[in-house]
Amino acid sequence: MAIFKGAGVAIITPMKDNGDINYPRLAEILEDQIARGTDSIIICGTTGEASTLTHEEHLEAIRFTVEQVKGRIPVVAGTGSNCTETAIYLSQEAEKSGADALLVVTPYYNKATQKGLIAHYTAIADSVKLPIIMYNVPGRTGCNILPETAAYLVEHVENIVGIKEATGNIGQVAKLMQLTDGKIELYSGNDDQIVPLLSLGGLGVISVLSNVAPKETHDIVAKWFEGDIKESLRLQMKALPLIEQLFSEVNPIPVKTAMNLMGWEAGPLRMPLGEMEEAHKEKLMAAMKEYGIALKA
């Protein structure tokens, strides 16, 4: 059975002005996401600024989210690291906290070989019982899980079941689905490629867009599986200008800016990320208004 089917939100981590995690605000955002149809919560991913959270903050955010969601939709915990031992530790603690699955990014900076990736993912998977979604985003990590490597892991490691594909390389994704005979849970890691990956056998998206448009992102996937391909495509196309602005600077700078513009008081970003350039912010605001998102006065 799939971990989830539809649109999972790669949720932001709201902060107080002093930089601490704002848990009351996180609770409000989680409730709003669930109310508006989000199919899964992905906590402590790239969009959640996991790379600048301490281990204690990281694990507390996972525990808090699991407790707040109360099993209504799956909670997927980001537990990847460029240190295998750290990834094992975070994964084991997330499992103890009641997460439903793990999202494990490739080890960044180290530039592991394909053999190293197999060893890394196998060691993490062997340390827990939870299902694992590999996260392939070479643009951020400098490391690409080749289709043959992903296929090997899914075939030989029982609880490695899925992949979040953010290479942007449709040919690579097609080869992966061919090699696995479609027996891998495929999620788009790019909001502008939801429909293309659904057409290759994908189950949905792990989405930045869902932070600001949860129902609409859910509907892109839901319409596809209802057989209304034309409407799914229309919704995908409608979102493209907004998606472009949500990635006009490195994620999560624009989406956290957008949440603040909507009145969520999501707080600042942690260094080395900083405030959005004013020219980019103006374009983001225009795209949000055009899409129909209300901005706080």
- Residues with catalytic function: 135, 164
Distance CA(246)–CA(110), nearest Å, equals 28
Distance CA(77)–CA(100), nearest Å, equals 8
* Cβ proximity of 104 and 86 under 8 Å: no
- Considering only CA atoms, which of 135, 293, 296 is closest in space to residue 215? 293
Long-range contacts of 28-31 (CB under 8 A, 24+ apart): 28/264, 29/259, 29/264, 29/266, 30/65, 30/68, 30/69, 31/68
CA distances from 262 to 22, 26, 85, 141, 210 (A): 17, 15, 39, 31, 14
Strand partners, 40: 8
- Considering only CA atoms, which of 123, 122, 80 is closest in space to residue 101? 80
Print the SS3 string covering 80-139: CCCCHHHHHHHHHHHHHHCCCEEEEECCCCCCCCHHHHHHHHHHHHHCCCCCEEEEECHH
